[in-house]
Amino acid sequence: MPKLLTIFTLLFLTTTAFAASEPALTVTMGKAKQSLTASALLASPKTREIEVAKDSAYGKPMHYRAIPLSALLDGAKLSKDEVIEAVATDGFVAMLPLDALLQAKKGGAEAYLAVEPPDARWPALPGKTVSAGPFYIVWLHPEASGIRSEQWPYMVAELRAADSPAKRWKELAVDPKLAAGDPVRAGQALFVTQCMACHKLNGAGSSDLGPDLNRPANPVEYFKVDALKKYIRDPASLRHWPAMQMKGFDSEALSDHEIDLIIAYLKHMAGRKDAKK
C-alpha cells in the first residue's frame, strides 16, 4: 500500500462513521483511490495554520488551516512528466506541475490544501453566494515558481495524477519546425495553464466549462484581434449576462504581452485543426 494511503487511513476510518454527509476529497493516484473528509484532514498532525498574503480567489489576505500538498502526496509514485489535476465541483480543472507541488525547487512556491472547517465556514467568494470550500489549493510565495491565477482551484472535489498535457494530447502540439524560442511556444505554455482549466482545444483537455477554442472555429477567425484582446482581459466589456462564467484576466494574471503570446498560439493552431503531429 503506498504511503499516501497509510497517512490518513487511521484518521479516515475513525471519522467516516460519524461524518457520512461530510464533504470529502477524492485523491486518485494511479489505481489507488482514497476519500478524505474535511475533519480527517483537519485532524492530521501535518495540518498547519497559514497566512496567505495575496489570496487569488478572495483578492485579500486570508488565514487557513491547511495541509502541505507535499505531505498529502508523500510516497505516491509520480513521475516527472505527470501533473496533478485539481477538479472542482463546477467543472474547472487546474493543472498543477509536480515539481512545484513537491517543492522540488529550494525557495520555491509552497502549495497547500486549505480545508474549510465545518464549524468556521469561510466567507462567500466575491460576487458569489458560496465560499471557496470545502477544499481550496492555495500557495505561499507563488511568484517564486511562476504560479498563475488559474492554479488556485477552489471548490476542489478531486486531486488526480495525470500525464502532462504535452504527453497526453498531441492535438495541442505546435509545428515541430518552430524554433525552441518561438513566441508561439510561450503562448502554448500560457494557454495550458490559464485557459485549459475551462477550455478544450482540438478536442484536447479535461474541462468542458467553456467552448473548444479551435474546433469547429477558432476565435481568431471570427473576432477582430482588438476585440479578442479585450475579451480575454474583460469579457463583460464586450457582452454581459448574469450566467457568464469567464471572468477575464487582469494585468497581473496576464500582461498585454502574454495575451499577445496566447493569441499567437491560437492563430498558429487555427492552421492545425487536424494536425496529427
In the complex, the residues that contact ligand HEC under the rule CB under 6 A are 92, 150, 194-195, 197-199, 209-211, 213, 219, 231-232, 235, 244-246, 249, 262
Q: Which is nearer to ligand HEC, 13 or 238 (CB)?
A: 238
Residues contacting residue 255 through CB under 8 Å, at least 6 positions apart: none
Query: Angle at CA 84, nearest 5°, toward 78 and 88?
Result: 150
Question: Rg of the chain's alpha carbons, rounded to an integer?
Answer: 19
Grid cell locating 184: 508561439
Task: List C-alpha distances in Å: 221 to 131, 168, 216, 258.
Answer: 38, 27, 10, 20
Grid look-up 486531486 returns 159
Q: Which is nearer to ligand HEC, 65 or 200 (CB)?
A: 200
Q: Which is nearer to ligand HEC, 157 or 209 (CB)?
A: 209
For the CB of residue 206, give the shortest distance to ligand HEC in the complex, in Å: 12
Q: Which is nearer to ligand HEC, 101 or 201 (CB)?
A: 201
For the CB of residue 67, give the shortest distance to ligand HEC in the complex, in Å: 25
First to last CA, the chain: 39
Q: Is the Cβ–Cβ distance between 90 and 177 less than 8 Å?
A: no
For the CB of residue 26, give the shortest distance to ligand HEC in the complex, in Å: 21
For the CB of residue 136, give the shortest distance to ligand HEC in the complex, in Å: 15
For the CB of residue 59, give the shortest distance to ligand HEC in the complex, in Å: 15
For the CB of residue 175, give the shortest distance to ligand HEC in the complex, in Å: 20
Q: Report which residue type is found at 106.
A: K
Q: Which is nearer to ligand HEC, 42 or 259 (CB)?
A: 259
Q: Which is nearer to ligand HEC, 240 or 276 (CB)?
A: 240
Residues 38, 259: Cα–Cα separation, whole Å: 38
Residues 220, 22: Cα–Cα separation, whole Å: 45
Closest to 196 measured CA to CA, from 237, 162, 157: 162
Residues contacting residue 162 through CB under 8 Å, at least 6 positions apart: 82, 83, 84, 85, 168, 206
For the CB of residue 208, give the shortest distance to ligand HEC in the complex, in Å: 9
Q: Which is nearer to ligand HEC, 112 or 231 (CB)?
A: 231
